[in-house]
Structure formats: C-alpha cells, structure tokens
C-alpha cells in the first residue's frame, strides 16, 4: 500500500521504480546488511538523517560499494522531508 500521491516517499519510490531501481523504505540503517546480502547491488542511494547516512557510508566503505546520499531536511521518525530534486539528480 502506498501513501497519498503528494507524499515525498511515494514520489521517490515511484521515481526509483520508473528508472529501474529497487526501492526500500527502512526503519533504519541496520537493515542494509541483510538487503545487500540477498541482493549484490553495484551501488546505493540513501535518503536519511546525517547519523544514519554516516553509519551507512561506513558500512558501504567496508564493502567497497559506492554510495550517494540525500540528507533529510526535516529529521524525525515521522513526517520527514528531503529534497526530491536532489534525489532525482542523483538517480
């Protein structure tokens, strides 16, 4: 199930899938190792708070896997915001 059509997560998910990417909406970065174990991706684009991105970057570096980051504009466990234009440019 998807949220409303104007939701940033919904827009980013649709954009990623349109461009042929697998999209995951995660509760935190601790899920990344399990995902990468099942799917050997060539790179990762993460949208998260600075702390999660820092931890994710460390993990990716240890795996020699390239990554790009989009920082949240508004942090929190709900109603987060990010720059969709930046996300599009990275994809």
pLDDT at 78: 66
| Angle at the Cα of 30 from the Cα atoms of 14 and 77, rounded to 5 degrees | 65
The token duo for 56 is 């994710």
pLDDT at 77: 64
Q: What is the pLDDT along the chain (91 residues), one digit of tens a residue?
A: 567 888 888 999 999 999 999 998 888 778 889 999 999 899 999 998 889 899 999 999 999 999 999 999 977 666 778 999 999 999 9
pLDDT at 4: 81
Strands 81-82 and 67-74, bridge-based pairing:
antiparallel
Backbone angles phi, psi at 68, to 5 degrees: -125, 150
Q: Where are the domains of the chain?
A: 8-90
């Amino acid at each position: 199930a998807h949220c409303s059509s104007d939701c940033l997560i919904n827009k980013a998910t649709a954009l990623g899938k349109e461009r042929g990417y697998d999209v995951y909406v995660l509760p935190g970065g601790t899920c990344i190792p399990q995902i990468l174990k099942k799917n050997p991706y060539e790179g990762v684009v993460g949208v998260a708070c600075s702390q999660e991105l820092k931890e994710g970057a460390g993990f990716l570096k240890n795996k020699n896997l390239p990554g790009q980051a989009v920082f949240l504009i508004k942090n929190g466990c709900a109603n987060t915001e990010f720059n969709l234009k930046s996300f599009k440019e990275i994809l």
